[in-house]
Each structure stands twice: as structure tokens, then as C-alpha cells.
Amino acid sequence: MRSLFVKLFLWFWLTVALSGGVFFLVAIKTRPELPPFPQEHRLSGGQLMPPPMGDPTVPETQHPPPLHFEGGRHKPPPRGFFSFPLVAQLAIYFVVGGAVCYLLAWRLTAPIRRLRRAAQQLAQGDLTARAGFGAETKGDEIADLGRDFDRMAEQLEGLMAAQKQLVRDISHELRSPLARLNVALGLARREAPASAAPAFDRIEQESDRLNQMIGELLTLTLLESGGKALEKEQVDLAALTAEVVHDADFEAAGSGRAVQLTTASVPLLSGNYELLRRAVENVVRNAVRYTASDTVVEVYLEQTAADEVCLRVRDHGPGVPEEALVAIFKPFFRVAEARDRQSGGTGIGLAITAGTIKHHGGTVTARNLPEGGLEVLIRLPLPAV
């Protein structure tokens, strides 16, 4: 009985039923008794008839109402509502009271249900969700709460829009000075002595990393905004995954690691090839980065249902804290700051993966395995046949 509607309904109904029962019991105990019928007179042939109206033995005030004859006998007239059995009376009262209480409880909890639906939509990322309590809406404290919620949602939507616009503008503006920096770096290399080469290599490495981060930021803002529809085509996910695994295995061999793919034939799906490739690559490269030396990153691709394909990437690393299994797909989240910086992580890759999979109607989750290591599970829907 966690529902407020059910609680209100049952308490109202119980109150009405108890008060109705007490009312009927009091009414039955206190209703006046009808006067007794006078002695019947027999006619010839054994028929019965009431005494004459002028019978001096019967007081004038106690003359009974006319009798109804059926089959030679008589019965008293109906006594109105109380002529029904007590059980029937209580049943009618119980049903009618229950219907009224149901409507009352439904009416009282309707604003709360609207507010709850809007809160759920807002929690799922729909910043346009509103409870719909305008200034013209009349009501009580619940209506005031709904209007406060709508104002809060409007402020959140404005703040998030401003933040995304700021990131987008900064990313675009950084591209120009970064390009000029690379040009200046090339000129400086030609005029500098050979002893300066390591410093220039370091500058070039950091410049490339900054350029990569800017590109990831632009991709992330594009996925989060949802304002521009991405081009889609028929994508062979098996071939795409095999290409990513081949490249990752080649790079992992230098650090004593390997990447292995186990795949089955899966149907083509509709999606953006470049984004899907980057999403899969981010997960695989992340697994290679954190798996232990001399271990194999295992990638499995299979069709788990008629309308769904599943990609699993499992490493043999330390995993992540349980409370961070959801947060690792948020932008700039780092489980270990120093380790991520040492490995070259930017904290954006898995966020791009989550945004891409969500844009394609799928889901991405992570879990720590009992035998050790982290497993990332990507589910993508297949087009209807």
C-alpha cells in the first residue's frame, strides 16, 4: 500500500462503511413499531376480512391500513426502504460509498501523478518536461508545488543549454589558435638545433592530444544537443567490430596484451557508421588500457533476441568501484585521476559511447565480474523485419 491513491481510497471507503453501518444499526434499533393488527373476522366459507371501521373494540387511531388479499389471506403493506434485508441495504451503501470515495481519491491524487511523471521525464534527461501547472491553474499547496517544479525545470533547461553552447563555442574557438600553434611548431623545428627535438616532440604530442579532446567535445555536444539528425546507413556491426579489434590488437601487442573477438553472424542495423565505430573503439581501447599485462581483452558479438544485438567487452583489470559503474559514462569522470592522465585518458571517450548508443536507441552498462575485471555491455536494436 505505497500508493497515496490506494491509501486515500481505502481510508475514505472504510470511514464511509463504518459510519453507514452505525447509521443502519441505530436506525433499526430506534424505528417505531407498527401497531398490531386487530383480530380477524371470518366470513362464510372461511374467508378473512378486517373488522369494520366502526368496531367499537378498536380505537379510531389504531385502525390498520387496508389489507391486501392473496389466496384468501392478507399481508401488511410494504414498509419502504427498511423492507429490504439488512445485508442488501449495507451492500448498496458500501458500493455507492466506494464509488464516491474512488472518484474523490482519484481527484485528489491526480496532480501528484502529473508531478511524478514530469519528475521521471526530467530524471531521464528530458529537460522539456513540465508538470503543466500554469499561473491560471487554481489549486492548493500541490498546485503551488507543481508551479515551483516547472520553474525549476525551466531554469535547469536554460542552464544546460547555456553550458552546451559554451562548450561548443570554446571548442570551435580553440581550433584556430591550435592550428596556428602547429604551424609555428613546424617552423621552429626547422630553425632549432637538434638538441631541442625532444621538447618539440613533447609539444607536438600535447598539441595532438588537445586537438583530439576538442574533437571529442564537439562530438559530445552534437550527441547531447540532439538538434541535428545524424546520417544513417546500413551498418555491418560484425565487420566494424572486427576492424576495431584488429587495430586494437596490433597496438596492444607492444605492451604484452592482446584483443580477441568471438562473433556470430548478426543482421545489418541502421546507424551512423563513424559514430558506432568510435563508440566500439572507445570501449575496446579503454579495456586494453586497463587490462593486466599478458592478458587478453575478450570481445563477444551475438544476436541475443530477434530485435537486439549484444556486444560485450571484458578486460582483466582491477575494475571500478561499484558506485562508479554508472558515472564512468559521464563526461570528464575519472576513477583514478593520476592513472587516467598517465594512460592518456581524457574522460570523454565512454561518454561519447553512451551518447552514441543512446542516439541509436540502445543501452550501455558496465559491471564488475566476480572473477575480476570489468565487462561493458552494449545493446543495440535491430530494424523490424
Active site residues: 172
Task: Output DSSP code: residue 371.
Answer: T
Long-range contacts of 333-342 (CB under 8 A, 24+ apart): none
Which residues, in sequence order, are CB contacts of 334 under 8 Å at separation 6+?
340, 345, 347
Q: List, as one string, the DSSP characters of 84-149.
A: S-HHHHHHHHHHHHHHHHHHHHHHHHHHHHHHHHHHHHHHTT-TT------TT---SHHHHHHHHH
Other beta carbons within 10 Å of 141:
8
Which residues, in sequence order, are CB contacts of 112 under 8 Å at separation 6+?
4, 142
Q: Which of 92, 71, 89 is nearest to 80 (CA)?
A: 89
**What cell was used for 340?**
587516467
Q: Are 326 and 332 in contact (CB under 8 A)?
A: no
Q: List, as one string, the DSSP characters of 235-282.
A: E-HHHHHHHHHHHHHHHHGGGT-EEEEEE-----EEE-HHHHHHHHHH
How far is residue 333's CA from residue 348's CA, in Å, rounded to a whole number?
A: 8
**What cell was used for 1?**
500500500
